[in-house]
Structure 1
């Protein structure tokens, strides 16, 4: 369906539902999204404990994290289109029930493969929740200041969830145990599924009767899942499985080519390429890839640095992120207000500049770092920067979108974030770990030299994260249109 057809098509009115209560709708949808974003990072601090209790090997352990992101990222676009076709509230409820059930299985897992399979099912449920909730949010708030405030709250919580996940993961792991990382999702998910019809009305796309692009959905979903899996293969401090990496990359290219061919011939494509005519959508998705590359690089390597270099415990590592979490909320709150008064672009540029500066401070943190004088200043800049960046990225992605496109726009921006996280971690880890053998040999087992070698590895990773943030700044500066906060046409330049 082309943009022109979309604009001419009648907007499907939501089915009979509850009286519209914007505050309640926003809180409910943001809580649903928060739960899915939380589970991206909450497991990281618990990994050493899970490894010990379940006897999981180092090479298998990474799949406890990557399987969730792989399935979530791979199925987002398909989930968005299913929500448009079958009903957004219905798919939200389906996702909440599946997420709760998978969380219960993960918490009861007795071995590596039960846990990994449950994480995959969690990812599938999260894909339905994230796209349906974001599409419902966009559809329930009119474009302009009202939608910008709502998307600002969503963007703030999605960024805050990544930080809170690390903190909460440490507290639960050293408290009731790592299994409660998953158990806490069960009552929240089931209660959300029951309450959904009382809070938000059903809505779906007006062109749902025109059929569904099965071939496009299968080819793109397979390509995205395989891409994220292949990127995960590059995260290793040993010999890389080059055959799997190159073979997977080649197959991804073939699947993407097949997808493009299918979409050009489909009467009702999964991703109408005409949607990319919107400059704000294009730029927002590129920025999202780079921003999440920065974010995931920060959390993955900062957690390792705090535990392996500064010798923090899991719970102390979690609490070390508290200022970052608080300032992410502060930055997001300020950005939510600013995007309704000025425009998304200048707010985003400030946020990305702060994030880049924070990563560069971490790049210079010494092996004997003091938390207060070395780590905390970097976390302050990163918290404000990430909070101020997530909000305008979401606003830009939906600028100019119609109700008909909300599920697609939600799928695209969430996919960009998941692929960005996987790509960023793969690039940063590959670059950082390239010198592990050399540095280990040079240390000759001397504790001080081993510590310094580890620090150099983490420095390389933090530098890559800074480059991601700097690249995102340039993309936003050059490609993102300057639009008014009310959703009016771009402000003329010069």
Structure 2
């Protein structure tokens, strides 16, 4: 137990200490649940939003504005938690997220909704790394840390699938506005929980100045890169808009690396952090794993609604087994991580996910849910639940507490980039078959073409998990601790 943890718990009864730790974990999980939920809850409601607010061809910006803001500010958000204190930054992020949800739910014009989604993304970029920083500095013993990250990861994975269910239920029974307004009461409870439960902790560099040039370069670079990716589907990879954005993004990110290596007195991302093999490999695994998982959320929704004719509510209900698999995989594996290490669990989880995706990609327009879809999504859910858990643990376990925010910011930036790059890559891969309007296809022929295109995308998602398997081989192998090692660590 670290000196920080001892000072917090010395003289406190065990049951009181455990109850307080449980409350801290609950607050962090609620914050992360809100963040991930809003990344997926809007998808089912997009057609209704388009009709009610009279969106034109810019409907994709309801999601793109959120993704660009999250990607752009995650690294800065992680660093803010280290420099200014985890509780303060957590409060600011939660307050901004709640306020933006209120504005978005009341939006009467497309621009207002898109702006609100961007500020939601900014709040999520501040809040998400803060939740991991709190967990990393509060739960320092290996078993407790594994369980905490296991539940956090289970919530993260399940929230993406639950978002589709919630979006379907709310859109069909109430109004699309409540997919945003529901965050307001949750956010108010979360703010109270942060204020009264979460301990304050500031890293050793708490009094150091923030690397403003580096922060500006990486934030603008990531935003330009994701903007270019988001616009490629509409304008094509060779357009001036896309090429210009990607070129500017690459130049700014290169400038960021130069600033970190040569000029920054207190760099936003000390490059020597990448010497931690576990952290670097875990980020690669997270990139490919999330690219596969969140792309599958998108395409599985289209398969159910466009190929099989499911309603939004039935689509949401169909995601329940996937949510259960993600939750069981993330939580059930947590007690095993300290004993056998991260690598074998990552290899097993990614293999399960890859097999599930390959199985799912074989389903056509005549597939039945129970015989052709249920099995593969359970395999995918359980496998990716374990991966989400272990990558979070592996990316932060070997770092000192004052770099927990940095590590969590890097990990979540990697995940967001994976989701953005993975989706646009697989959308482009399947576009030639799914653009049935240009091909003049209708009825059964259109459904068949859509099915072929989405199956191609799912095969691509399986390829992402295979790339993740290769990256997982670089994660350090850890032998189970010997009895005298276990005793000495207590």
What is the TM-score with the length of structure 1 in the denominator? Answer: 0.92
Q: Deviations over 1:114-147 (max 9, x none)?
A: 1110000001111111011110110001142221
Aligned residue in 2 for 1:190 = 188
In structure 2, relative to structure 1, the CA distance for the partners of 1:132 and 1:239 (3 Å cut) is: closer
Aligned residue in 2 for 1:449 = 445
1:235: Cα distance to partner?
3.0
Q: Deviations over 1:15-71 (max 9, x none)?
A: 9999752111111111111111111111111111111111112x3111111211210
- Indicate which of 468, 477, 482 corresponds to 1:482: 477
* In structure 2, distance between residues paired with 1:162 and 1:244: 31
- Indicate which of 358, 364, 367 corresponds to 2:365: 367
Aligned residue in 2 for 1:259 = 256
Task: Answer yes or no: is the 8 Å Cα contact 1:235–1:425 preserved in 2.
Answer: no
Aligned residue in 1 for 2:21 = 22
Aligned residue in 2 for 1:40 = 39
Kindly report the root-mean-square deviation, in angstroms, between the aligned alpha carbons of the 2 structures. 2.3
Task: Answer yes or no: is the 8 Å Cα contact 2:130–2:405 preserved in 1.
Answer: yes
Aligned residue in 2 for 1:243 = 240
Aligned residue in 2 for 1:155 = 153
Task: Answer yes or no: is the 8 Å Cα contact 1:14–1:203 preserved in 2.
Answer: no
Q: Deviations over 1:364-395 (max 9, x none)?
A: 11112111111111111111111121101111
Between 388-397 and 325-334, report the one with greater CA deviation.
325-334
Q: Deviations over 1:82-132 (max 9, x none)?
A: 111111100100111111100000100111111110000001111111011
Pairing of 1:41-440 with structure 2 (within 5 A):
41-57=40-56, 59-236=57-234, 242-264=239-261, 265-436=263-434
* In structure 2, distance between residues paired with 1:434 and 1:452: 13
1:240: Cα distance to partner?
5.5
In structure 2, relative to structure 1, the CA distance for the partners of 1:142 and 1:242 (3 Å cut) is: same
- Indicate which of 466, 471, 488 corresponds to 1:470: 466
Task: Answer yes or no: is the 8 Å Cα contact 2:139–2:145 preserved in 1.
Answer: yes
Q: Secondary structure at the match of 2:339?
A: coil
How many residues align structurally?
A: 475
In structure 2, relative to structure 1, the CA distance for the partners of 1:272 and 1:447 (3 Å cut) is: same
In structure 2, relative to structure 1, the CA distance for the partners of 1:40 and 1:441 (3 Å cut) is: closer
Q: Secondary structure at the match of 1:268?
A: coil
* In structure 2, distance between residues paired with 1:64 and 1:365: 30
Q: Secondary structure at the match of 2:335?
A: helix
In structure 2, relative to structure 1, the CA distance for the partners of 1:56 and 1:13 (3 Å cut) is: farther
* In structure 1, distance between residues paired with 2:479 and 2:42: 40
- Where in structure 1 are there 5+ consecutive unaligned residues? 1-9, 490-494
In structure 2, relative to structure 1, the CA distance for the partners of 1:481 and 1:71 (3 Å cut) is: same
What is the TM-score with the length of structure 2 in the denominator? Answer: 0.92
1:311: Cα distance to partner?
0.6
* In structure 1, distance between residues paired with 2:447 and 2:427: 18
* In structure 2, distance between residues paired with 1:46 and 1:126: 21
* In structure 2, distance between residues paired with 1:67 and 1:169: 19
- Where in structure 2 are there 5+ consecutive unaligned residues? 486-490
Task: Answer yes or no: is the 8 Å Cα contact 1:234–1:429 preserved in 2.
Answer: no
Q: Secondary structure at the match of 1:364?
A: coil
Task: Answer yes or no: is the 8 Å Cα contact 1:34–1:157 preserved in 2.
Answer: yes
* In structure 1, distance between residues paired with 2:5 and 2:303: 51
* In structure 2, distance between residues paired with 1:123 and 1:338: 34
Task: Answer yes or no: is the 8 Å Cα contact 1:14–1:201 preserved in 2.
Answer: no
* In structure 2, distance between residues paired with 1:32 and 1:441: 43
In structure 2, relative to structure 1, the CA distance for the partners of 1:419 and 1:486 (3 Å cut) is: farther
* In structure 2, distance between residues paired with 1:26 and 1:414: 18
Task: Answer yes or no: is the 8 Å Cα contact 2:83–2:208 preserved in 1.
Answer: no
Task: Answer yes or no: is the 8 Å Cα contact 2:329–2:382 preserved in 1.
Answer: yes
In structure 2, relative to structure 1, the CA distance for the partners of 1:192 and 1:441 (3 Å cut) is: closer
In structure 2, relative to structure 1, the CA distance for the partners of 1:270 and 1:14 (3 Å cut) is: farther
* In structure 2, distance between residues paired with 1:214 and 1:13: 35
Q: Secondary structure at the match of 1:481?
A: coil
* In structure 2, distance between residues paired with 1:33 and 1:446: 42
1:194: Cα distance to partner?
2.3
